[in-house]
Structure 1
Amino acid sequence: MRKLVIGMALASTAIASPVLARDGAWYVELDGGPMIVEDIEFDLPNAPNDVIVDTHYGYDFGGIVGYDFGFIRLEAEGSYRAADLDQIQVGSAGVTSRTGFFARNDTYDAIGDASVLSFMVNALADFGPDDGLQGFVGGGVGVARTKFDGVTVNTAGPGFLDDSDSGFAWQLLAGVRAPLTDNIDVGLKYRFFNTDTLDLVDTVGRDVNGKWRSHSLLGTIAFNFGGAPAPMQTCWDGTQLPMDATCPARPVPPPPPPPPPAPVVQCNKGPYIVFFEWDRSDITPEAATILNNAASAYANCGAAAVMLAGHADRSGSAQYNVGLSQRRADAVRSYMTARGIPDTRISTEAFGETQPRVPTADGVRELQNRRVEITYGPGSGY
């Protein structure tokens, strides 16, 4: 049995990589699974380790209420574990059998059971993401009531030990778990449980001292009540990211085109292109420079027609982008009429997102697609 105990402990610890449950959240948890009890050694007066009790496999189950502070969780736990007896190894001091005599210096089949009811306070260190496999390690301290019921040699009579004791207990914990839903986690937990000092009295009035040590492998299911939302930052483009993330760099608009060549008699019909901020139709200082050049160049084109084509990028709906590109064309029209170009010579058309200057996927913001193109004179157009 000792080899099985050691193997179970090592296997359970190996799967426990150092769980971040739900930060800032209360949770409840149910645990249950098989248990192995180490051989229980009893000291009789002037006879240390004179009685050794071996048990069958047992069970361990309990419930938890806890709070997650982030890296650390604190829990209040109540649990119960029990196992039936298998054999009793008796030394020279002997034990009372159910036929009324002392059994000595032999190993006997045993009857009876042993159980522990405990109430513990646990502290756990958690590691790992909320949305993936998580691990934890920790321990707890508290009080336990350890009871031995009808412990004796398998014969008729009064028996050897029928007593209980309450005292200090401690445990070590390790495990893994993963989210099943937004609020429910499932996992696997290893528990080493220990009560060092048990002071009992057997059926003939002798002091009996011992300890309980057990190893449990428990399946767990936990319900999280939800934590405080993580603080977010708003970036320049309106997107929200966690506080420890870096916002994307603000795009730099392309430099304005070089100034037009010295005026000549020949009409320079463009196109002149002005760009706009995202979801805006305001004339920027860079756009104003280009429009001033376009208005000056119009003087060389006589009474030429002026064609304004408005465009948008693909970050909004198609219908919304048609309206946005029309507003941009109207803004350019107002700016040019204010600088002497006859309104009757100007015509506009809104293309929305249908004619991108830089092809992009739907929803992508692209500065060079947020534009109005201006062309002059005979043969100009869209």
Structure 2
Amino acid sequence: MRIRNALLAMTSMVALPSFAMASTITGPYIDMAGGYNLVQHQSARVGTDRSIKRAATQDYGKMHSGTGFNGYLSAGYGFGNGLRLEVEGAYNQTHITRLGGSFADGVGRHAHGKSEGYGALVNVLYDIDLGMFGLNNFPVTPFVGIGAGYMWQNYRKVYNRGSNPHYPDFNNTTGGLAAQGIVGAAYDIPGVPGLALTTQYRFLGQAGSSGGGSNGRHYLHEDGKRGDRVGYGTRYTHQFMLGLRYAFNNAPPPPPPAPHVVVPPPAQAARTYLVFFDWDKSALTGRARDIVAQAAQASTHVQTTRIEVNGYTDNSAAHPGPRGEKYNMGLSLRRANSVKAELIRLGVPATAIDIHGYGDANPLVATAKNTREPQNRRVEIILK
């Protein structure tokens, strides 16, 4: 029941409101956490033989633990790819509440006592990037890990309240190799770069002792006289913790390089302007005067050494035959002169203007003979 409640508490911690997207650690960091400590029932044996497992006469029982707490302080290094390596100093404490088995004549009895553990472990952890699963905006960085090291466990005044004198009376320290599995999640704290809140569950196993050597001693008497040897079974601990972690290299990653943008050259003013005329006319229309004005204005903004004004007609003529060709040649020249006069009126120096008349040569639109085509009745203003 207590394990189930503890797991529910851990689930609640993981579901805490999130802050901001936790970041991958690159460089050194420190970490500390503390929380609830739940120890599974641990076996113990008492005997007179140096190896109590072979003792012909021995007492066997289980120690039941109540509430407790644990904590650790660690220093580590993140490699920037999710992997982290850290060294941890750990502490745990719990109360012995019940003794069972032959310690209590076959029935469980209330007990008194406390156990304290301390040691060091080396952990390897991995931060899981949820972006790999399409959760780029999910504000959590889960992590998993394993660790190994050495732990000492100090049992202080553990005795059965139902016997007088107290029996057994554990009062010693035993040590052994330890290993743990770790699962948790980290949340960055807004406004404090590098600082993160962590929630995690750890399962710690500590090897027991056979009862031999100086650590395999206990006292059966309240007067402090040395008694028989005691050995402990493997100790399993569930730990549920809340903590803080600070990464020293917490500068945000550099932004990605800006995409290369080809900037087009600034648009230049048109260097050729077309002025169109009515059939058999050389006078400028209102629209034609607007085009000439644009050409005159542009000649003052772009580098211009000469302005060519070339006049044209379509291949129709007011007079048929050879006389018509001569007429069109003259009409094209009159149109060019009309444009030149307007340019001069607008301030363009006359010496900068060259005029030509080409009759019906070089049409913009190819047509049959004797066709009135508006686009061929034109003057081209070319800025050079």
Q: Flag structure 1 segments of 5+ consecutive residues without an equivalent.
A: 96-102, 233-240, 275-287, 307-336, 342-382
Q: Which runs of 5+ in 2 are unaligned?
A: 16-20, 47-52, 130-135, 211-215, 220-226, 277-283, 310-338, 354-384
CA separation of 1:254 and 1:272: change in aligned 2, threshold 3 A: farther
Which residue, out of 167, 171, 179, partners 2:176?
A: 167
The one of 247, 272, 277 aligned to 2:259: 247
Distance in 2 separating the partners of 1:10 and 1:198: 33
Give the whole-Å Cα distance in 2 for the aligned partners of 1:56 and 1:273.
96
Bigger CA drift: 220-229 or 173-182? 220-229
One-letter code of the match for 2:43?
Answer: E
Please give the residue correspondences for 1:178-257 in structure 2 after superposition, counting only pairs within 5 Å.
178-180=187-189, 181-199=192-210, 200-203=216-219, 204-227=227-250, 230=253, 232=254, 241-242=255-256, 247=259, 249-250=261-262
Secondary structure of 1:83's counterpart equals: strand
Partner deviation per Cα, 1:75-118 (whole Å, 9 max, x = no partner): 11111101111110023xxx4xxxxxxx4212111011112102
221-230 or 170-179: bigger deviation: 221-230
How far did residue 8 of structure 1 move? 3.3
Whole-Å separation in 1 of the counterparts to 2:295 and 2:198: 66
Q: Does 1:304 align with 2:304?
A: no
Once residues 260 and 112 of structure 1 are traced to their aligned partners in structure 2, the CA distance between those partners, rounded to angstroms, is 104
> Cα–Cα, structure 1 residues 49 and 257, in superposed 2: closer, same or farther, change >3 Å?
farther
Shift of 1:222: 1.6
Asked if the contact 1:202/1:208 (under 8 Å) is kept, the reply is no
Contact 1:78-1:119 within 8 A present in 2 as well = yes
Instruction: State the Cα deviation string for residues 208-266 of structure 1 (Å, max 9, x = none).
Output: 23111111111101222124663x5xxxxxxxx326xx726546569878763457785
Shift of 1:32: 0.8
What is the distance in 1 between the residues matched to 2:256 and 2:243? 31
Root-mean-square deviation (CA, aligned residues, Å) is 4.1
Are residues 295 and 156 of structure 1, via their aligned partners in 2, closer, same or farther at CA, if it must alter by over 3 Å? farther
- Is the contact made by 1:59 and 1:83 (CA closer than 8 Å) also made in structure 2? yes
Contact 2:139 2:187 in 1 (8 A): yes
Amino acid aligned to 1:260: T
Deviation at 1:198, TM superposition (A): 2.7
Q: Partner of 2:29 in structure 1? A: 27
The residue that corresponds to 2:312 in the other structure is none
Letter of the 1:304 counterpart: L
User: Could you tell me the TM-score, scaled by structure 1's length?
Assistant: 0.59
Query: Structure 2: how far apart are the matches of 1:123 and 1:49?
Result: 40
Report the residue type matching 1:183 in the other structure: G
Residues 135, 73 of structure 1: alpha-carbon distance in 2 compared, 3 angstrom cutoff: same
d(CA) in 1 for partners of 2:165 and 2:59? 24
Matches within 5 A, 1:30-179: 30-44=32-46, 45=53, 50-70=60-80, 71-91=82-102, 95=103, 103-128=104-129, 132-154=139-161, 155-157=163-165, 159-179=168-188
Separation (CA, whole Å) in 2 of partners of 1:142 and 1:272: 90
Per the alignment, do residues 304 and 215 of structure 1 end up closer, same or farther by CA in structure 2, a change over 3 Å counting?
Answer: same
| Matches of 2:59 and 2:295, distance apart in 1 | 101
Flag the 1:303–1:297 CA change in 2: closer, same or farther, 3 A: farther
CA distance in 2, matches of 1:40, 1:85: 10
Deviation at 1:185, TM superposition (A): 1.0
Q: How far did residue 165 of structure 1 move?
A: 1.4
Secondary structure of the 1:191 match is strand
Aligned residues: 272
* Contact 1:136-1:174 at 8 Å conserved across structures: yes
Q: Which amino acid aligns with 1:212?
A: R
Q: CA deviation at 1:11?
A: 6.7
The alignment-based identity, stated in percent, is 18
> TM-score, normalised on structure 2?
0.59
Question: 1:303 offset after TM fit, Å?
Answer: 5.0
State the alpha-carbon separation in 1 of the partners of residues 259 and 138 from structure 2.
23
Residue 352 (structure 1) aligns with: none
Tell me which structure has the larger Cα radius of gyration. Answer: 2
Q: Please tell me whether the aligned partners of residues 187 and 219 of structure 1 are also in contact (alpha carbons under 8 angstroms).
A: yes
SS at match of 1:164: strand
